Amino acid sequence: MKITIIPATDLIDGHCVRLTQGDYARQTIYYRDPLEAALRFEGAGIRRLHLVDLDGAKASEPCNLRTLERIATRTSLEIQYGGGIKSREALHSVFDAGARRAICGSIAVSRPELFAAWLAEFGPERLILGADIRDGRIAVKGWLETSPTTADALIRQFLPHGLEQVICTDISRDGMLCGPSAEFYADLQRQFPTVEITVSGGISSLDDIRRLDQQQLRSVIVGKALYEGRITLQELEQCLPNE
C-alpha cells in the first residue's frame, strides 16, 4: 500500500484517550502514559503520529505540551499536533516542544487572515488545516460548535495561500468503527489534487485502509481500531514496508 498510516493519540489530563463522536463524556482511557503507545507505534515501523490536545481544544490554548515534548525527545516520530492553537505564541510553543507539523482548525474559520499569514510565515509543509465536519459543516472549538462553512469551501479559501495539507474528520463516524466515508474523501481529493487530504473517522479494519488506498487517498488516521485490536501492530508492520 502507498497510503501513509498515522496513529492517533488524543490527550486528556496527560492520558491517551479516545472519544466517541467527539463527545467528551464518552471517553475511554487506553494508556495512562501516551509515551508507551508512541514507543509501540515506532517499534512497528510507524513514522508519523497524530497528537490531539483535547484539553487544549476546550481551553483555546495548548495544555499537553509536556507530553508532546516527552514523545518528541524519546522517539523519532514525526508528530503533528493540534488543539487550542489560536495564537502565534501557541504555534511557536508547539513547534518548540517538538511538533513537526501543527494542525489549525478553529482559527482558520474565525480568523482566516491569521491562518493565511501563518502559511506564509511557517510554510505549508508545517501547517495542516483541520477541516472537521458534522452534517457537512465545519465544527470548531473542540467540536463543541458548528459553523456554516463546508469542507470544500474552507479548503478552497486557502489554496491561493499555498495550502498543501488537510485533515478532514467525519465526526459522526469518529470512534464508531463503522467505516469511513470513502466516496466523500475520494471526491474531495479529486477536487483538490495538489492538497494531501488525510482521512479521519470511522476506520474499522485494514480493509477500510486498503479501499482508501485504492481510491488514491494519500494518508489516513487510525485511532480506536488500533486501540481495540481491530487492526494489530503486526498487520501494520506487514503493510508499512510497501508504502
CATH assignment of the domain containing 97:
3.20.20.70
Residue 137 lies in a domain: yes
Is there a domain that residue 156 lies in? yes
| 207 counts as catalytic | no
- Residue 131 domain-assigned? yes
Measure the CA–CA gap between 188 and 192, rounded to whole angstroms.
6
**Tens digits of pLDDT across the chain (243 residues):** 899 999 999 999 999 998 877 788 888 999 999 999 999 999 999 999 999 999 998 899 999 999 999 999 999 999 999 999 999 999 999 999 999 999 999 899 999 999 999 999 999 999 999 998 988 899 887 677 888 999 999 999 999 999 999 999 988 887 788 889 999 999 999 999 999 999 999 999 999 999 999 999 999 999 999 999 999 999 988 877 444
Number of domains into which the chain is organized? 1
CA distance 80 to 11: 13
Domain-located, residue 243 = no
Residue 184 lies in a domain: yes
* 10 is an active site residue: yes
Indicate which residue of 53, 55, 132, 208 is catalytic: 132
**Left, alpha or beta for 142 (phi > 0: left; psi -120 to 50: alpha)?**
left
The answer to whether residue 82 sits within a structural domain is yes
Residue 193 lies in a domain: yes
Which residue's entry shows cell 491562518? 115
Q: Could you list the residue range(s) of the whole structural domain that residue 60 is in?
A: 4-238
E strands present in the chain: 4-12, 15-20, 23-31, 48-53, 78-82, 101-104, 127-130, 133-134, 137-140, 145-146, 165-169, 196-200, 219-222
